[in-house]
Chains A and B, each alone.
Chain A
Amino acid sequence: MTSTDFLSILPIIILVAWGCVLLLVDVFSKKNTWLTPLLAAAGLMVTLVFSIVQSGTTYTGFNGMVVVDGFSGFLNVLFAVSGLAGIALSFDYNKRMGLDRGEYYILLLFSISGMMLMSVAADLIVVFLALELLSIPLYVLAGFARPKLDSEEAAMKYFLLGAFAGGFVVYGVALAFGATGSTALGEIVAAVNTGTADLTLLTIGAGLIIVGFGFKVAVVPFQMWTPDVYQGAPTGVTAFMAVGAKAAGFAALLRVFVAALPTLYEQIVPIMWVMAALTMIVGNIVAIAQSNIKRMLAYSSIAHAGYIFMALVAFGQADVAPDAVSAALFYLLAYAVTNFGAWAVVIALEKSEGKGLQLDDYAGLGRKYPALAAAMLVFMLSFTGVPPTLGFMGKFFLFRTVLQAGFVWLAIIGVLTSLISAYYYLRVLVIMYMRDGDPEVNTPFLLNLTTGLTAVGTVVLSIVSVPLFKWASQAVLKIF
């Protein structure tokens, strides 16, 4: 192992090693339950700093198995920040719900290491390993509130469908290996270009990979687990997995399809087109019928996966693809900030035994807790895509790329479904401000901090969104 190899996965090494140390720390400090989360956050801070330092460079490690580039740098920063937000959201929530066990934060670290491995993976086998490394801790986290039946059930459903999806991915990888004789993205491109690849087999393999990751990022028709898992899992985990697992899934899809398989564009683009359109339509329409806020946000996350999937549809157009990748990254960032804020409000209102999660429980929030309600207002407007919020800028850049790529109807479907989504997002605001009620909230410091930072971030970052988008544009994929 050379020093470049070592450097290329250093953030992942830090997280895994620190996680193992923390497992020991946790055993010996059962009384100080604040210690493990604090140290986990410190480890994430170090990883974050290193990811920022690393983000300007491009090099490969382990004979091309991993590649560090702008794309991975951007995503690693996003993952590290998501982890910090996840810890901030869970800290008081876990105490309140009696989930105050140190493994929680360690599993979070392991899951983030898998996500980071996903963002640097340049070999299909590494993609598969990263997928499992990020998923297996999440299965456990989803069931963390055991013996609560809801949580166990969520974990079971997530596990069975996640493992099922993993089976599709690995079989797709096997077929891609059979078609090209290699699983390295660079060599797959080379085999396709020299004509030694079996394109039929490669197309089937790529299709299976889409199915597998379709489950992970929750696009229609592979979305059915999402609402159940999001509802049953502890809310801190839900918030984290809604951002982390989705971003990692899209990282893999973008890298594999944009960098390695643009030649299959003609065959695959109709399927992707239909999946993106269906995801936006189904996610937004079914969300209207929900009365539980966790389920509503779950369907909303499906709908947002559909928007990001639109960017992926343009993967084979060499002139648009870099723009599409940066639009997708920017949208992921916008989604992450808004999403953590919205889930922070949900956590503030949630009570034990699953109470405080109905939309009606938000009645009167505007009068009793104006600051919290104002934050929720910002998040809901951002989800809808109303300026001046990050959600609007995200949609703006995204629709611009989709139009450039020539998918006019897809953009129209996207705009129309955004209009539909206004109905259920604004309904939350109507309930908050126009109905009388007496909600009770828990506002510990860390939760307030997260809500405040994300609310301010949603507005302020949208004003400076052009430099931010430039950063995302520099996060181009290394092309083989």
Chain B
Amino acid sequence: MLPVSYYVGLSAILFTIGALGVLIRRNAIIIFMSIELMLNAANLAFVAFARAHESLSGQIFVFFVITVAAAEVAVGLALIVAIFRNKQSIDVDQMSNLKG
């Protein structure tokens, strides 16, 4: 069996990729996917640590995170669709109405 640190390392890499994706990519959907990647990296870490501590609670938290992610998808995609209808674009760099 692989040691737990491998899984945690992988989850850290996934989290970093997700965070960089949010900062670098400009398409709202891809930013959103990157955020999902961050949440799933946390899920992987939860499961790995749950295994290491032999505690089931970590696995249960994953369900909470998945539920929350689903709720965010519902709101997020609706917002993206609303903006697309209005502007025919979901490039976040073009969302520049608000400036001071």
| The residue from B43, B68, B98 contacting A154, defined by CB atoms under 8 A apart | B98
Per-residue interface assignment for chain A, residues 149 to 186, with 1 indicating a CB less than 8 Å from any chain B CB and 0 otherwise? 11011111101100110111011011101100111000
Known interface pairs A128-B68, A132-B71; A152-B55 also in contact (CB < 8 Å):
no
Known interface pairs A125-B61, A175-B45, A183-B61; A163-B98 also in contact (CB < 8 Å):
no
| The residue from B18, B19, B64, B97 contacting A232, defined by CB atoms under 8 A apart | B97
Q: Any chain A CB within 8 A of the CB of B13?
A: no
**When the two chains form their complex, are residues A167 and B98 in contact, meaning their CB atoms are under 8 A apart?**
no
**When the two chains form their complex, are residues B100 and A290 in contact, meaning their CB atoms are under 8 A apart?**
yes
Q: Any chain B CB within 8 A of the CB of A227?
A: yes
**When the two chains form their complex, are residues A174 and B85 in contact, meaning their CB atoms are under 8 A apart?**
no
**When the two chains form their complex, are residues A147 and B65 in contact, meaning their CB atoms are under 8 A apart?**
no
**When the two chains form their complex, are residues A157 and B49 in contact, meaning their CB atoms are under 8 A apart?**
no
**When the two chains form their complex, are residues A171 and B100 in contact, meaning their CB atoms are under 8 A apart?**
no
**When the two chains form their complex, are residues B64 and A227 in contact, meaning their CB atoms are under 8 A apart?**
no
Which of A150, A163, A175, A295 has the largest count of B CB atoms less than 10 A from its CB? A163
Chain B stretch 29-57: residues in CB contact (< 8 A) with chain A = 31-32, 35, 38-39, 41-43, 45-46, 48-50, 52-53, 55, 57
**When the two chains form their complex, are residues A140 and B75 in contact, meaning their CB atoms are under 8 A apart?**
yes
- Distance between A169 CB and nearest chain B CB, rounded to angstroms: 9
C-alpha gap A231/B99 in the complex (Å): 9
Known interface pairs A167-B35, A183-B61; A159-B85 also in contact (CB < 8 Å):
no
**When the two chains form their complex, are residues A164 and B35 in contact, meaning their CB atoms are under 8 A apart?**
yes
C-alpha gap A136/B83 in the complex (Å): 17
C-alpha gap A286/B80 in the complex (Å): 30
Chain B: interface size category: 35 or more
**When the two chains form their complex, are residues A147 and B76 in contact, meaning their CB atoms are under 8 A apart?**
no
Chain A stretch 391-449: residues in CB contact (< 8 A) with chain B = none
**When the two chains form their complex, are residues A153 and B42 in contact, meaning their CB atoms are under 8 A apart?**
no
Looking across the interface, which residue of chain B has its beta carbon closest to that of A131? B68
**When the two chains form their complex, are residues A153 and B97 in contact, meaning their CB atoms are under 8 A apart?**
yes
Looking across the interface, which residue of chain B has its beta carbon closest to that of A292? B100
**When the two chains form their complex, are residues B79 and A155 in contact, meaning their CB atoms are under 8 A apart?**
yes
Which of B38, B53, B98 has the largest count of A CB atoms less than 10 A from its CB? B98
| Contact partners of B95 in chain A: CB under 8 A | 153, 156-157
- Distance between A124 CB and nearest chain B CB, rounded to angstroms: 9
Chain A: interface size category: 35 or more
**When the two chains form their complex, are residues A167 and B100 in contact, meaning their CB atoms are under 8 A apart?**
no
Q: Any chain A CB within 8 A of the CB of B10?
A: no
Q: Any chain B CB within 8 A of the CB of A249?
A: no
**When the two chains form their complex, are residues B86 and A152 in contact, meaning their CB atoms are under 8 A apart?**
yes
C-alpha gap A129/B65 in the complex (Å): 8
| Contact partners of B22 in chain A: CB under 8 A | 160, 164
Looking across the interface, which residue of chain B has its beta carbon closest to that of A298? B100
Chain A stretch 100-145: residues in CB contact (< 8 A) with chain B = 125, 128-129, 132, 136, 139-140, 143
The A interface, classified by DSSP as helix, strand, loop or mixed, is: helix
C-alpha gap A197/B31 in the complex (Å): 34
- Distance between A467 CB and nearest chain B CB, rounded to angstroms: 40
- Distance between A290 CB and nearest chain B CB, rounded to angstroms: 6
**When the two chains form their complex, are residues B76 and A159 in contact, meaning their CB atoms are under 8 A apart?**
yes
Known interface pairs A136-B72, A171-B45, A174-B42; A129-B8 also in contact (CB < 8 Å):
no
C-alpha gap A227/B41 in the complex (Å): 31
| The residue from B11, B19, B57, B99 contacting A182, defined by CB atoms under 8 A apart | B57
| The residue from B19, B28, B58, B92 contacting A167, defined by CB atoms under 8 A apart | B19
C-alpha gap A153/B80 in the complex (Å): 10
| Contact partners of B46 in chain A: CB under 8 A | 174, 177
| Contact partners of B71 in chain A: CB under 8 A | 132, 136
- Distance between B10 CB and nearest chain A CB, rounded to angstroms: 13
**When the two chains form their complex, are residues B98 and A152 in contact, meaning their CB atoms are under 8 A apart?**
no
Q: Any chain B CB within 8 A of the CB of A146?
A: yes
| The residue from B43, B53, B58, B98 contacting A150, defined by CB atoms under 8 A apart | B98
- Distance between B85 CB and nearest chain A CB, rounded to angstroms: 7
Chain A stretch 221-256: residues in CB contact (< 8 A) with chain B = 227-228, 231-232
**When the two chains form their complex, are residues B49 and A167 in contact, meaning their CB atoms are under 8 A apart?**
no
Q: A128-B65, A181-B53 are in contact. List 16 more A-B contacts (CB 8 A).
A: A125-B61, A153-B83, A155-B79, A156-B92, A160-B22, A160-B32, A166-B72, A171-B45, A175-B45, A178-B49, A182-B57, A227-B98, A227-B100, A228-B99, A290-B100, A292-B100
